[in-house]
Amino acid sequence: MLYAILCYKDEEVVAAWSEAQDAAVMARLAPVHERLARAGTLGPSLRLLPTTTATTLRKDEAPLVLDGPFAETKEQLLGFYVVDVADLDAALAVARDLAEANPGGAYELRPVRLYNPDPRAPAPGAA
C-alpha cells in the first residue's frame, strides 16, 4: 500500500540551519533512505522550496490566486516521502526512523491512491 509521509517543521528553524547543519541532518537521514531504497519501498521524496515561493489557488466561489500558502500554522509542510509498505504499522515504522534521524516537527501519514499514474512507469512494487 502506498503512504505519503508529510514532513512538517518550523520553516524558520530549518531555514536558519547552516550548510553544515543541513548536511548533518541529511547524513543522519541517508541510512534510512538507503535501507528503504534497498527494500524497494522508497518512492519519490521531495523537499519543498520555502513557503515564500508558494502560490495558492483558492477554490471558493470565484477562484482566487494568492502569493504564499497563508496557512495559520506554526509548522509548515516542508517535504514528503512516498513509501510502498504493507500497512499503516509499516509506514509508522518508517516515520519513526525518519523522526529519530531528524527530530522535531511532525510526520503526517496518509494512504495514497494513484490517480493519474504515468503509463510509462512500472506499477509500485513491480520488479
- List, for residues 84-117, the tens digit of each pLDDT value: 999 999 999 999 999 999 988 889 999 998 776 6
Nearest CA to 114 among 80, 94, 84, 79? 84
- Domains of the chain and CATH, by start: 2-111 (3.30.70.1060)
pLDDT computed for residue 57 by the predictor: 76
Judged against a pLDDT cut of 90, whether residue 33 lies above it is answered with yes
Nearest-5° Cα angle at 79, 78 to 80: 145
Judged against a pLDDT cut of 90, whether residue 120 lies above it is answered with no
Share of the chain above pLDDT 70, in %: 80
Q: Judge whether 6 and 110 are in contact, CB under 8 Å.
A: yes
pLDDT computed for residue 38 by the predictor: 96
pLDDT computed for residue 6 by the predictor: 93
Q: Is the pTM of this model over 0.85?
A: no
Judged against a pLDDT cut of 60, whether residue 71 lies above it is answered with no
Share of the chain above pLDDT 90, in %: 59
pLDDT computed for residue 44 by the predictor: 92
pLDDT tens for 46-63 read 999 988 888 877 776 666
